[in-house]
Amino acid sequence: GAGVSQSPSNKVTEKGKDVELRCDPISGHTALYWYRQRLGQGLEFLIYFQGNSAPDKSGLPSDRFSAERTGESVSTLTIQRTQQEDSAVYLCASSFDYGQEVYNEQFFGPGTRLTVL
Amino acid sequence: AQTVTQSQPEMSVQEAETVTLSCTYDTSENNYYLFWYKQPPSRQMILVIRQEAYKQQNATENRFSVNFQKAAKSFSLKISDSQLGDTAMYFCAFMKHVGNEKLTFGTGTRLTIIP
């Protein structure tokens, strides 16, 4: 079956512009995560959606960052007034929910490389 | 908060040899998962191996095995009979033992297999 998909693959924007990054999770996966990977760094958690629960926004670095998810499908990460330090690869992952006591593997998309000039 | 440390930014090894990547972590949790992920140039994160902290037996997946030392908070990855396709970034990651939880990653080790 199809994996997690993300679009666009690459995005180049000018400082101060807004950008939207899209994630299509695996069908049936109720959990969705956004991570950021700066050059030469590991992945940093940004935000987590689980079903209809309030999202965990604890990783968002500033109020310029926001994300939405429509039900258990597509999610959009929006960065307003982009800055050069926002340049990174943004990765999305999704997982099924087998329950609290069970391991739920996260499956990653290929990421969107954002370059802010 | 959890932290994951990978102290080897780059490593290289001859094809068919064995290589060990190091990882240490810090947590106050007693039950958790540890992972090694592979990220080739395609950027796709691929799960290599998973270890559950309550299991004493080290996880093994074909040529990949771990040395999990819970008391020392150490979690190294051994790749045996290394292949050219093993060339990639390798990330160590931590996750609390709950149903769905964020991953905390180290900064990665760039592994190059030399033909």
Render each residue's pLDDT in chain A as its tens digit; 117 residues: 589 999 999 999 999 999 999 999 999 898 999 999 998 888 999 999 988 888 999 999 999 999 999 877 899 999 999 999 999 999 999 998 776 667 788 999 999 999 999
Residue B66, pLDDT above cutoff 60: yes
B108 touches chain A (CB under 8 A): yes
Most B-contacting residue of A103, A104, A113 (CB-CB within 10 A), to test interface: A103
B100 touches chain A (CB under 8 A): yes
Distance CA B93, CA A45 (A): 12
Contact A18, A24 (CB under 8 A): no
Residues with Cβ within 8 Å of residue A63, at least 6 apart in sequence: none
Per-residue pLDDT at A100: 66
Per-residue pLDDT at A6: 97
Distance CA B101, CA A104 (A): 9
pLDDT tens profile B25-58: 999 998 899 999 999 988 889 999 999 999 889 9
CA quadruple A19, A13, B109, B38: dihedral sign: positive
Categorize the per-residue pLDDT at B112 as very low, low, confident or very high, splitting at 50, 70 and 90.
very high
Categorize the per-residue pLDDT at B90 as very low, low, confident or very high, splitting at 50, 70 and 90.
very high
Under an 8 A CB cutoff, do A97 and B99 touch?
A: yes
CB atoms within 10 A of CB B54: 11
Per-residue pLDDT at B39: 95
Residue for token pair 């490389």: A113
Residues with Cβ within 8 Å of residue A68, at least 6 apart in sequence: A75, A76, A78
Contact A60, A47 (CB under 8 A): yes
Under an 8 A CB cutoff, do B108 and A105 touch?
A: no
Mean pLDDT over the full length of chain B: 94
Residue for token pair 């679009």: A7
DSSP annotation of A9: S
Residues in a beta bridge with B112: B12
B44 touches chain A (CB under 8 A): yes
Distance CA B81, CA B85 (A): 11
Return the closest-CA partner of residue B82 out of B18, B23, B28.
B18
A55 touches chain B (CB under 8 A): no
Helix or strand run (H / E) with residue A10: strand A10-13
B89 touches chain A (CB under 8 A): no
Contact A104, A51 (CB under 8 A): no
At B85, phi and psi to the nearest 5? -70, -10
